[in-house]
Amino acid sequence: MAISKTAQANHQELFPDLKSTLKVTDPEFIEIFDNFNFDEVLQHQNLELKLRMKITLASLIAMQSVNEYQAMLNGALNVGVTPVEVKEIVYQATAYVGLGKVFDFLHATNAVFTERNISLPIEGQSTTTPATRYEKGLDTVRQMAGDAVDKMQKNLPENEKHFATFLADNCFGDYYTRNGLDAKTRELITFAMLISLGGADPQVKGHIRNNVTVGNDKETLLSAITVLLPFIGYPRTLTALNLLNEIIPASK
């Protein structure tokens, strides 16, 4: 097979001495995919390896790709992504892809951890209590999205105000306030999940703005879209690119 030396080296870094069954059954496909994903794509992005693996894991959760997630999880752990960081990615996904998907990935994560003799449970990362989660969550969302949730609380009908409360106390208070990942990483993995889901254009645009607020520039977001392309396909990729250029116009 004509897999480039660069692709082989990048694959080997993640998966030392892996014996791929697909190389035997589908050699032409593996040649195409490995050259594209582990060489060509990487020439057009600037993310360091561990961050690239974190957003890949987040994307695969959103895509409901359990088998590929487990494979990439092993690669992520091989290059130094920590068990705490992995669990935080999975936990935060609950707010964006829902419990129905996340439970499968908790079990998949725990299976990989058990195989690698990583002790469970992982050390706790919560910084809030039931009494403080709302105020701390509201403070966190204000730092990222300004008064967006405050406006929801003010403008929504009485029987809909609980959605704004949930954004403050659950989405941000329960997840974003946790230790284990910094704000820049949390916003980037959220962006990765949303563009991988598809059909969440208003939320993608909101989190593009949030990413800029916490310090992720357009090149970082372009890099995220680029490295996720092999996993999410062209329709979701081009939609994400259009949304990014709508919020941060392309330079001519």
pLDDT (0 to 100) of residue 112: 98
pLDDT at 250 over 80: no
pLDDT (0 to 100) of residue 1: 64
**Which stretch of DSSP H or E encloses residue 77?**
helix 66-78
**Which stretch of DSSP H or E encloses residue 119?**
none
pLDDT, tens digit, 9 for 90 and up, residues 78-102: 999 999 999 999 999 999 999 999 9
DSSP, collapsed to helix, strand or coil, labels residue 30 as: helix
pLDDT, tens digit, 9 for 90 and up, residues 165-188: 999 999 999 999 999 999 999 999
Number of C-beta neighbours around residue 242 at 10 A: 11
**Which stretch of DSSP H or E encloses residue 31?**
helix 27-35
Distance CA 238, CA 154 (A): 35
pLDDT (0 to 100) of residue 19: 84
pLDDT at 23 over 90: no
Q: Is 54 exposed, middle or buried (0-12, 13-18, 19+ CB in 10 A)?
A: buried
pLDDT at 139 over 90: yes
pLDDT, tens digit, 9 for 90 and up, residues 224-247: 999 999 999 999 999 999 999 999
Tokens of 10: 């990048």
DSSP, collapsed to helix, strand or coil, labels residue 15 as: coil
pLDDT, tens digit, 9 for 90 and up, residues 8-22: 999 999 999 888 888
Long-range contacts of 121-129 (CB under 8 A, 24+ apart): 122/83, 122/84, 122/87, 123/84, 125/84, 125/87, 125/88, 125/178, 125/179, 125/180, 126/177, 126/178, 127/177, 127/178, 127/179, 128/173, 128/174, 128/177
| Cα distances (angstroms) measured from residue 116 to each of 16, 21, 82, 233 | 15, 21, 12, 31
Compute the mean pLDDT over every residue in the chain, rounded to the nearest whole number: 95
pLDDT (0 to 100) of residue 17: 84
pLDDT (0 to 100) of residue 103: 96
pLDDT (0 to 100) of residue 243: 97
pLDDT, tens digit, 9 for 90 and up, residues 44-80: 999 999 999 999 999 999 999 999 999 999 999 999 9
